[in-house]
Every structure is written in structure tokens, then in C-alpha cells.
């Protein structure tokens, strides 16, 4: 198992009821998991716990058998390096070129002024260019990131995650701000990466049809609990 989540609970400091209650599941290599649920169900909290952007209140998260629930410092950095993350709002640095945004994924985040002046190694540039080819954006590598469309920006974010050579890719509503056609093109890229690079996928979606089309497994979440865990064809609309 890549990931084992056991009896996870998350309660935010000022809220009365927990955002996640008793969540348990395991993730095997190669899966394409869609996390489905209404707004406020806890999907984003779950993704943020797994990437340890936040720390769970109770329960454990194991990565390749190692308990990383409260890991910090070097252990946390090592763990995060094996996980690529994409967001609803893409999180690119608009003033930097497309290529530099991808390079930042390879070298770790740095202040913008430093990213501008940094002398990148040829091997890193080659890797970033290759990742941009994979998502079909090599031709815009020198443009400023904020000149691209939303769909293109998400593809840059995917390339930035790819150059990290992650084992698992997490997406927090990666297509929620894109139109249906563009959403599909992004899901197609994630599927290609899942199949060709064998990178395990775990993405929050609120579109049942997309989950059915792309996921190999659906985790349905409602009010902080898992209410469905199975193949998308078994999904019913009540959930």
C-alpha cells in the first residue's frame, strides 16, 4: 500500500463539529481516485491532511508503511517531495515565465526575486521543457504565466508537479474553475500521467460524470465521513 489512512479526524480550532470524522481507507499504487461530495463535505480538508498542509487532530496517516501524521522538518520535506499537488486556482507565479514556474517545482519554492535571478542547470531546464512537452505547452514556455488561459495554467501546474517525479498526485478541485471542455482536457492529461507514468491520482471533484469517466475508484464523502468507497459504476446518484 502507498497510503494508509486510519481513523482520521480533523477539527478546526474555532469550529464546533469536526470537518473529518473517523476516515479510514488505503490507496494502492496505480489507482485513480475521485473524492466526491458536496461543498463543505470535507474533501479539501482530507487532501490537505494527506499532503500535511494541515495536521490531523486524531488518527494516523502512513506513507509506504511509515507514520507521517505528525512528521516535521526533513521527514516532512522528503514526504512532500514524493507528492505532486495541483489546486483549483493553479497557484502559479504570474510574473514568472511558464518555464520558470515549472523549474520552481523541481527545485523547491523560492522567493520570486530569487527565481528570476537563479542560474538553472541545463539538466533541470531539460526536465522542465520535457514536462511542458508532455502537457502540450512547450511552445509557450517563454510567456508569462498570467498570459495563459485557465486551462493552460492548470497544465503548467501539472508540469510543475510532474518534474518532481512524484509517486502520488493530489488535486484539490483541479477542474472546478474550468469549463466542461477544458475540464475534460485536464482530466485526459491526468489519466495519461496515471497510465503512462504510473503516478497514482487522488483528486477532489464535484462532478459525478467526470468521476465516472476517469476514476477507477470513488470515495464519496458526506459531512466528514466516507459514505461510498468503490468502483464508479456502482455509484448511485443518492450518494
CB 45 within 8 A of CB 57: no
What is the closest distance, in whole angstroms, from the C-beta atom of residue 116 to ligand ADP in the complex?
Answer: 28
> Does 236 sit near ligand ADP (CB under 6 A)?
no
> Does 230 sit near ligand ADP (CB under 6 A)?
no
Segment interacting with ligand ADP (CB under 6 A) among 26-34, 43-51, 131-139, 155-163: 43-51
Q: Which of 7, 12, 81, 209 lies at the binding interface for ligand ADP (CB under 6 A)?
A: 12
Q: Considering just the CA atoms, what is the radius of gyration of the chain in Å?
A: 18
CB 142 within 8 A of CB 148: no
> Does 42 sit near ligand ADP (CB under 6 A)?
yes
Those residues whose C-beta lies under 8 Å from the C-beta of residue 74, and which sit 6 or more positions away, are none
| Count of residues near ligand ADP by CB under 6 A | 11
Strands 225-230 and 217-222: antiparallel
The alpha carbon of 230 is separated from its chain's Cα centroid by a whole number of angstroms, namely: 20
Q: Which of 3, 19, 158, 175 lies at the binding interface for ligand ADP (CB under 6 A)?
A: 19
Q: Which of 32, 33, 45, 162 lies at the binding interface for ligand ADP (CB under 6 A)?
A: 45
CB 200 within 8 A of CB 170: no
Q: Which residues bind ligand ADP (CB under 6 A)?
A: 12, 15, 19, 37, 39-45
Amino acid at each position: 500500500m502507498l497510503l494508509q489512512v486510519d481513523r482520521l479526524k480533523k477539527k478546526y480550532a474555532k469550529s464546533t463539529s469536526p470537518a473529518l470524522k473517523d476516515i479510514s481507507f488505503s490507496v494502492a499504487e496505480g489507482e485513480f481516485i475521485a473524492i466526491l461530495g458536496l461543498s463543505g463535505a470535507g474533501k479539501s480538508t482530507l487532501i490537505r491532511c494527506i499532503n500535511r498542509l494541515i495536521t490531523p487532530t486524531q488518527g494516523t496517516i502512513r506513507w509506504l508503511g511509515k507514520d507521517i501524521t505528525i512528521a516535521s522538518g526533513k521527514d516532512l520535506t522528503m514526504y512532500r517531495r514524493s507528492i505532486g499537488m495541483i489546486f483549483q486556482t493553479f497557484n502559479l507565479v504570474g510574473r514568472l515565465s511558464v518555464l520558470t514556474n515549472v523549474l520552481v517545482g523541481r527545485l523547491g519554492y523560492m522567493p520570486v526575486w530569487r527565481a528570476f535571478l537563479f542560474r538553472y542547470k541545463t539538466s533541470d531546464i531539460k526536465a522542465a521543457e520535457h514536462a511542458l512537452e508532455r502537457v502540450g505547452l512547450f511552445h509557450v514556455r517563454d510567456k508569462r504565466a498570467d498570459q495563459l488561459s485557465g486551462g493552460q495554467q492548470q497544465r503548467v501546474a501539472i508540469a510543475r508537479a510532474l518534474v518532481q517525479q512524484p509517486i502520488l498526485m493530489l488535486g484539490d478541485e483541479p477542474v472546478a474553475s474550468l469549463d466542461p471542455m477544458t475540464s475534460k482536457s485536464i482530466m485526459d492529461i491526468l489519466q495519461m500521467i496515471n497510465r503512462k507514468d504510473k503516478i497514482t491520482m487522488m483528486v477532489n471533484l464535484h462532478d459525478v460524470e467526470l468521476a465516472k469517466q476517469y476514476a477507477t475508484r470513488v470515495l464519496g464523502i458526506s459531512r466528514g465521513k466516507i459514505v461510498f468507497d468503490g468502483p464508479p459504476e456502482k455509484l448511485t446518484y443518492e450518494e
